[in-house]
């Protein structure tokens, strides 16, 4: 074929690129290659080398024309020595050996072929001999694009190469499954530490600056919460509603509706939890029928999540079947609508969207942005090159001429600009750059004219402040305006550039950025990572560049964990790898590396947090040193399962028990206790010894010891065995899983080369990962282990180990057989054999029989406490 001979990379590969290419043959064996590569890693160039090695007729698809053209430009600049090679095209209707196009063009072609020509896209691809499909920036795929691409996968032998900077981990489960169904599992990932080590990315850090809502917002949130609490209290004493639930077929005719119950176990759980919370005695016979032999269920408290499930079913899913109760349901619907928790047929007590929008766009973030830039200016001075990215322009504030910032009550480009213009002492450094609005300070207009050309644009003084000029370009100059403003920013003529993420978030590049403020809250963390990528590139003109990326969080004062704005931020941070902010340097994804508190209760705490962030951000030299120290401690990104420590008993106490053994711990506790107990006992009971004799005295002494120390003994043993269950058992499960994967040849590196490693963190959380495994093998192991430890949902097979002590102490009796290991009975049984070898004698239960369904329902009810909690989470660490 022509590709492998006509194309050749002109330069030397970087070490991490070469490492990826060394494993290429292994990755491509299944005709799939899924690569994750951060901005700056040469993803497009590697993609061209991959398709050269595959050496087949190829269609490359990109999300935009700009990125499509980058493929063609990189081909010409980096691979073509032979100028006579012209067998490439950007016209999908006339494909050549190499065709560069967009997803939109493919979708349009599919529609035209189907409607106008009664032809299929599948036939078109086959007729043109296309055997390789490259999906660039695969996280952009939409449903319509996905459908026609999945149709193409029917072509036998088609090779699919997927490239992305950030997999869409924050998409819904169904969307994420579609993504991996199309792209396949991740085969390899180029690590950010390798890029920093090689000098392709600069040392950088993510910081969070906290604010609290305005008084008006706080009143709104408090009233919102109080209305919900009042509604829940009223509902719990509503005997008509209780009667509705007691008469519901799920409760009244449990035996006759078992099949329906099995399809909606969460709804039954919600019913029982509500009735228990309302003080209704649950029918013990029903608990017995559902599989609870001791007729006791430890029901959790009624939370927002449970009442959402309950009312969503009653008001929407089962509304027609509950016609007899329509007046009552209608009244509840109106009440929910009045307090703002029922909209578009969705019950939402948590306030995910309504409260999140209020907090995410809080005007308190304007002050945060100002404070951040003031602090950055103190450190960097004239070297400051800051970009503030947000979602909306907010032109309604453009002509505001006042000096009171309270009017600026919405987050947007113009409101940020106006706030900084009024508050900042460096307004001459400000500029706006969006697709429809460009504002420059009058001191840089002359330089702008030199870059763009005299007479190529119109100028109009800004009404709010005549020191600023609004720019309007004409003709072809309109297309060059972004490049002209970017050049002024690169040169330092503009030091603070405020723009929209739609224009500057992806595809725009200005290596001089050393401070980025992400004031964006619309969209996924895929776009957040793209925006973040602007600030972490190296700058040829500044060899010691470091990048500070600031994220904004407005805390909900009615929620101790910070609320939805911070929760969204936590999810986004799973896409970011970075160095720990303090203590021993390590590199990890997620928000834990910033060492934030679990609870945010006091305003003073918030100020201390911001001060800590600012202090750390100001020491840029230390940032570089921490990166390089952490990089030298590892060599590869390791995927791991992290199990958080959630027990209320301090971890130090549990750790102390583990280190000395339970029996020794008890002896120490008893001896220490007796040292305090005996003297007091002797003083009080000396009369007994003298009057009634030694035997009566010893009787009272022993009784006192038992009464005084039995509870402590019970508690100590319980802590010890609970700890052993969570830590030691996870290690046993990991070994069982590894043994299974090696014996079934799903792991190819060999059992001698790979081992399970478990490490305990200082905060009590522990991690499990595979040492010596490939990226693909680690990903497979972590995904399966995470599924085993997850709350019980609806697996085909369960592992059941029930005994009295475990039930009494709340130790898990049920574990899930992962979906991929439970598709066939033979696979499930084989995994079970490894479980018995390494873990315990649990029984394998098939849940699709009547008895199995009952046990599954029991498992879900028994583990009801895990329903809305992360039992384990996936993490990526440099080791």
Q: Which residues contact 807 (CB under 8 A, 6 or more apart)?
A: 294, 813
Residue closest to 703 by CA, chosen among 679, 677, 669: 677
Count other Cβ atoms within 10 Å, centred on residue 599: 11
How far apart (Å, rounded) are the C-alpha atoms in residues 828 and 744? 12
- What's the per-residue H, E or C state across 133-177? EEEECHHHCCHHHHHHHHHHCCCCCCEEEEEECCCCCCCCHHHHH
Residue 669 predicted with pLDDT over 70 = no
Query: How much is the pLDDT for 723?
Result: 42
Q: Are 414 and 432 in contact (CB under 8 A)?
A: yes
Q: Are 581 and 594 in contact (CB under 8 A)?
A: yes
pLDDT digits (tens, 9 = 90+) for 382-439: 999 999 999 899 999 999 988 888 889 889 999 999 999 999 888 999 999 998 899 9
> Quick one: angle between helices 239-247 and 326-339, nearest 10?
120
Pick the CATH number of 2-190 from 3.90.480.20, 3.40.50.300, 3.40.50.620, 3.40.50.9100: 3.40.50.300
Question: How far lies 365's CA from each of 208, 428, 619, 660, in Å?
Answer: 12, 22, 24, 50
Residue 15 predicted with pLDDT over 80 = yes
Count other Cβ atoms within 10 Å, centred on residue 873: 17
Question: How far lies 260's CA from each of 249, 270, 346, 854, in Å?
Answer: 10, 15, 22, 12
Which residue ranges does the chain devote to CATH 3.40.50.300? 2-190
Percent of the chain residues topping a pLDDT of 70: 82
The residue behind tokens 């691979």 is: 79
Q: Are 232 and 270 in contact (CB under 8 A)?
A: no
Q: Are 663 and 738 in contact (CB under 8 A)?
A: no
Highest mean pLDDT among 285-294, 713-722, 862-871: 285-294
Q: What is the mean pLDDT of residues 519-525?
A: 68
pLDDT digits (tens, 9 = 90+) for 787-836: 998 888 889 999 988 655 555 554 557 889 999 999 999 999 999 999 99
Residue 174 predicted with pLDDT over 80 = no
Query: How much is the pLDDT for 686?
Result: 59
pLDDT digits (tens, 9 = 90+) for 332-372: 999 998 888 888 888 988 765 667 777 888 889 999 999 99
Residue 316 predicted with pLDDT over 60 = yes
Query: How much is the pLDDT for 670?
Result: 54
> Quick one: angle between helices 215-236 and 304-312, nearest 10?
60
């Amino acid at each position: 074929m022509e590709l492998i001979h006509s194309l050749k990379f002109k330069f030397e590969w970087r070490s991490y690129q070469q490492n990826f290419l060394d494993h290429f043959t292994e990755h491509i064996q299944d005709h799939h290659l899924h690569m994750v590569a951060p901005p700056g890693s040469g993803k497009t160039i590697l993609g061209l080398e991959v398709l050269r090695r595959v050496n087949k007729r190829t269609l490359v698809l990109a999300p935009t024309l700009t990125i499509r053209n980058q493929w063609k430009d990189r081909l010409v600049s980096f691979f073509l020595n032979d100028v006579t090679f012209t067998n490439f095209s950007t016209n999908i209707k006339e494909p050549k050996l190499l065709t560069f196009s967009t997803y939109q063009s493919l979708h349009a072609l599919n529609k035209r072929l189907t409607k106008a020509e009664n032809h299929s896209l599948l036939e078109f691809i086959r007729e043109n001999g296309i055997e390789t499909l490259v999906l660039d920036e695969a996280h952009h795929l939409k449903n319509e694009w996905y459908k026609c691409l999945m149709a193409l996968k029917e072509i036998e032998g088609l090779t699919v190469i997927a490239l992305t900077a950030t997999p869409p981990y924050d998409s819904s489960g169904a969307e994420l499954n579609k993504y991996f169904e199309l792209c396949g599992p991740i085969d390899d990932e180029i690590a950010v530490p390798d890029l920093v080590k090689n000098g392709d990315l600069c040392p950088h850090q993510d910081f969070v600056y906290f604010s609290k809502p305005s008084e008006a917002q706080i009143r709104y949130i408090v009233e919102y919460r109080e209305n919900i609490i009042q509604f829940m209290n009223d509902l719990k004493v509503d005997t008509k509603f209780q009667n509705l639930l007691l008469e519901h077929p799920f409760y009244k005719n449990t035996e006759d509706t078992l099949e329906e119950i099995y399809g909606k176990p969460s709804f039954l759980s919600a019913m029982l939890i509500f009735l228990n919370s309302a003080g209704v005695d649950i029918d013990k016979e029903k608990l017995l029928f559902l599989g609870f032999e001791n007729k006791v269920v430890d029901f959790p408290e009624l939370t927002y999540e449970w009442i959402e499930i309950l009312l969503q079913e009653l008001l929407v899913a089962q509304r027609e079947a509950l016609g007899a109760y329509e007046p009552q349901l209608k009244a509840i619907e109106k009440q929910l609508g009045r307090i703002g928790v029922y909209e578009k047929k969705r019950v939402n007590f948590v306030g995910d969207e309504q409260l999140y929008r209020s907090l995410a766009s809080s005007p308190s973030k304007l002050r945060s942005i100002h404070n951040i830039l003031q602090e950055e200016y103190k450190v960097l001075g004239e070297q400051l090159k800051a970009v503030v990215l947000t979602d909306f322009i907010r032109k309604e504030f453009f002509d505001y001429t006042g000096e009171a910032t309270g009017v600026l009550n919405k987050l947007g480009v113009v409101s940020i600009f106006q706030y900084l213009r009024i508050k900042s002492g460096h307004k001459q450094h400000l500029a706006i750059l969006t697709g429809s609005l460009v504002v420059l300070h009058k001191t840089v207009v002359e330089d702008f004219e030199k870059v763009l050309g005299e007479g190529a644009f119109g100028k109009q003084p800004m009404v709010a402040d005549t020191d600023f000029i609004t720019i309007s370009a004409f003709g072809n100059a309109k297309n060059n305006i972004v490049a002209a403003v970017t050049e002024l920013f690169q040169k330092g003529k503009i030091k603070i550039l405020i723009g929209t993420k739609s224009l500057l978030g992806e595809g725009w590049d200005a290596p001089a950025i050393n401070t980025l403020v992400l004031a964006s809250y619309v969209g996924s963390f895929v776009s957040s990572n793209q925006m973040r990528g602007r600030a972490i590139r190296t700058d040829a003109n500044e060899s010691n560049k470091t990048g500070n990326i600031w994220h904004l969080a407005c805390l909900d004062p009615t929620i101790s964990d910070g609320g939805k704005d911070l929760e969204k931020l936590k999810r986004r941070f799973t896409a970011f790898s970075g160095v720990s902010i303090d203590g021993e340097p390590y590199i990890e994804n997620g928000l834990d590396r910033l060492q934030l508190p679990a609870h945010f209760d006091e305003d003073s705490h918030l100020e201390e947090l911001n001060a800590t962030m600012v202090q750390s951000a100001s020491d840029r030299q230390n940032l570089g040193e921490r990166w390089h120290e952490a990089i030298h401690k590892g060599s590869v990104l390791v995927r791991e399962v992290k199990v958080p420590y959630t027990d209320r008993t301090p971890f130090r106490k549990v750790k102390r028990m583990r280190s000395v053994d339970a029996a020794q711990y008890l002896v120490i506790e008893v001896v220490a206790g007796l040292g305090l107990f005996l003297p007091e006992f002797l003083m009080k009971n000396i009369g007994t010894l003298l009057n009634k004799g030694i035997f009566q005295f010893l009787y009272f002494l022993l009784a006192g010891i038992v009464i005084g120390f039995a509870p402590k003994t019970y508690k100590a043993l319980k802590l010890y065995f609970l700890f052993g269950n969570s830590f030691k058992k996870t290690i046993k499960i990991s070994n069982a899983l590894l043994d299974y994967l090696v014996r079934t040849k799903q792991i190819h590196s060999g059992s001698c080369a790979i081992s399970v490693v478990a490490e305990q963190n200082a905060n009590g959380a522990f991690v499990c990962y595979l040492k010596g495994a490939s990226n693909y093998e680690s990903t497979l192991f972590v995904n399966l282990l995470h599924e085993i430890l997850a709350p019980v949902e609806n697996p085909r097979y369960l592992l059941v180990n029930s005994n009295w002590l475990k039930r009494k102490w709340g130790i898990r009796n049920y574990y899930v057989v992962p979906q991929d290991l439970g598709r066939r009975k033979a696979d499930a049984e084989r995994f079970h054999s490894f479980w018995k070898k390494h873990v315990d004698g649990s029984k394998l239960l098939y849940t699709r029989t009547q008895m199995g369904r009952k046990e599954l329902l029991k498992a879900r009810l028994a583990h009801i406490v895990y329903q809305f909690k992360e039992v384990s989470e996936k993490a990526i660490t440099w080791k």
